[in-house]
Amino acid sequence: MPVQVRQLDTAASDFEAEFAKLRHWSEEADHAIEERVAAILADVKTRGDAAVLECTNRFDGMAAASVAALELTRDELKAAFDAITPAQRSALESAARRVRSYHERQLEACGRSWQYRDEDGTLLGQKVTPLDRVGIYVPGGKAAYPSSVLMNAIPAQVAGVGEIVMVVPTPKGERNALVLAAAYVAGVHRAFTVGGAQAVGALAYGTATIPAVDKITGPGNAYVASAKRRVFGQVGIDMIAGPSEILVLADGTTPADWVAMDLFSQAEHDELAQSILLSPDAAYLAEVRASIDRLIGEMPRQAVIRASLEGRGALILTRSMEEACEISNRIAPEHLEVSSDAPEKWEQLLRHAGAIFLGAFTSESLGDYCAGPNHVLPTSGTARFSSPLGVYDFQKRSSLIQVSEAGAHILGPIAAELAYGEGLQGHARAAEMRLSKKA
Ligand SMILES: NC(=O)c1ccc[n+]([C@@H]2O[C@H](COP(=O)([O-])OP(=O)(O)OC[C@H]3O[C@@H](n4cnc5c(N)ncnc54)[C@H](O)[C@@H]3O)[C@@H](O)[C@H]2O)c1
Ligand SMILES: N[C@H](CO)Cc1c[nH]c[nH+]1
Ligand SMILES: [Zn+2]
């Protein structure tokens, strides 16, 4: 049966209405989920380990006797690493090396302290420090994501975080050897087989067994997203990541099968994932449609892919590549492939995207695993104002100010004038006292 992916045409009179429907992403709170998450968090806050244990046994079909029994030891992580195949070990290590090297450059480029002195000797600067302890959430309900272990733990490590605590659900007690091995490779300090809102609550409030952290990062389902939103303030969070998205801008020079498979690659994550192709070449869109219909039968996750493409996917005919870039900027996708033989030309017109993949050989899937940049990216148009997970998410900044005696004579009158204007005498007098010699 052909996949009923909708087709839009920017020259059609109903384009704006159809485009609005396509972009509409209702993350309207599901009341049942919101209520359950609120109850789980309150329970974890008051009863700690007992609540975490009950929820884990109930929601993940486990039969653990204590939260301590859910901790994975460093020896267990190493045993998993030793047990996977040499090919898996080599792939994990190569991916980890590339991700580390990319994030080390990020640290050099924007993660270091800096300072300077005014002419009067006053020192000003910014001190960058790593977070003391972070929690990384690794999803594990419907699928296992060793790549997400690397993408969360490695930037934390590069930033110099003191302790990295990983949580990952293991439904029915089935531990994924690659996830454990990735935790070993990435240098996770402690790991617990706990997931969902109870894991987020445990990391935010701390229990007798699971330590409270300063920030929680990592993607997850609606329970995890809701819990992260609710504990924000008690702890930091990275972002609320929604379903995966890919937008391909194609000038018609990439084999149609390649682009069809790239659309599948994000559609297969989730029925709610969004895959969109934009091209000014109508014949090319028809070719990709034919590839989709021919290749879908080969895909083990074809039901998910079909649901995603039919529910939220689209092929969009544009008047030009310039117009395709404009539309892409309006969508601000998580992943943006520029499938063209002149990708640099179009890249200059692109402003909003979590990650931009240039040229026919750069499949988005390479970025998901091993190119080096992070795969935890802003979704649902939030690339307009936010950035990929990075070393900077595991650091914080303190301003440094050391005013010299000469500097106090310059700054004091300015501060005092403004403080009197605000009616704050204490501020003004504290500045003015520094105008006289220290006794
Ligand atoms: N953006 C990214 O980088 C990225 C990477 C990997 C995965 N993902 C996404 O993360 C999500 C992972 O979702 P998942 O479900 O597979 O795993 P998950 O780990 O996010 O959620 C599983 C947990 O949900 C909780 N849960 C499930 N049903 C529940 C219920 N009825 N009541 C209370 N709690 C319940 C359980 O505690 C369970 O442990 C997917 O949408 C996937 O596409 C995103
Ligand atoms: N594409 C996902 C983020 O949207 C990340 C991922 C993990 N494994 C495969 N893909
Ligand atoms: Zn992916």
Look at the block and give the residue holding tokens 């929604």.
242
Return the ligand 1 atom nearest residue 198 CA.
37
Residue 24 bears catalytic tag: no
| Domain(s) of CATH 3.40.50.1980: residues in the chain | 6-27+242-371, 31-237
In this structure, which ligand is nearest to the CA of 272?
Answer: 1
**Rounded (10°) CA dihedral 48, 51, 55, 57:** 100
**pLDDT digit string (tens) for 369-394?**
999 999 999 999 999 999 999 999 99
Annotated catalytic residue within 189, 335, 352, 375: 335
Q: Does the annotation place 266 within a ligand binding site? A: yes
Mean pLDDT of 305-320: 98
Pocket test for ligand 2, best of 147, 178, 247, 389 (most atoms within 8 A of CB): 147
Q: Where are the alpha helices (DSSP H) in 187-342?
A: 196-205, 222-231, 256-267, 282-295, 302-312, 321-331
Report residue 438's pLDDT band, with 50, 70 and 90 as the boundaries.
confident
pLDDT for 364 = 98
- Structure confidence at residue 28 (pLDDT): 59
The ligand 2 atom at the shortest distance from the C-alpha of residue 148 is 7
Greater confidence (439 vs 47) lies with: 47
Q: How far is CA 303 from the centre of its chain?
A: 26
When the candidates are 1.10.238.10, 3.40.50.1980, 1.10.510.10, 3.40.50.300, the CATH number that belongs to 31-237 is 3.40.50.1980
Amino acid at residue number 376:
V
The residue with tokens 């049966």 is 1
Give all strands of the β-sheet with 163-167 in edge-to-edge order: 71-72, 190-192, 163-167, 133-137, 215-217, 236-237
CA of 7 to the centre of ligand 3 (A): 24
The answer to whether 189 is a known ligand-binding residue is no
pLDDT value for 30: 85
Work out the average pLDDT over 339-356: 98
For residue 38, the surrounding DSSP H or E stretch is helix 31-47
Domain 6-27+242-371, classified CATH 2.30.30.30, yes or no: no
Q: Tell me the residue type at 12.
A: A
Mean local confidence (pLDDT), 48-53: 98
H or E stretch at 236: strand 236-237
Nearest ligand to the CA atom of 192: 1
Residue nearest to atom 40 of ligand 1 (CA): 221
Per-residue burial over 322-360, b if 16 or more Cβ lie within 10 Å, else e, is eebbbbbbebbbbbbbbbbeebeebbeebebbbbbbbbb
Has residue 251 got a pLDDT over 60? yes
End-to-end CA distance of the chain: 89
Are 383 and 353 in contact by the 8 Å Cβ rule? The answer is yes
Ligand 2: centre distance to CA 335 (Å) = 10
The DSSP-derived string for 146-211 is: HHHHHHHHHHHHHHT-SEEEEE---GGG---HHHHHHHHHHT-SEEE---HHHHHHHHHH--SSSP
pLDDT at residue 115 above 70?
A: yes
Whether the Cβ atoms of residue 169 and residue 118 lie closer than 8 Å to each other: no
**ipTM for the assembly:** 0.98
Per-residue model confidence as pLDDT tens digits over 267-312? 999 999 999 999 999 999 999 999 999 999 999 999 999 999 999 9
Question: Is the pLDDT reported for residue 27 higher than 60?
Answer: no
Whether 334 is a known active-site residue: answer yes
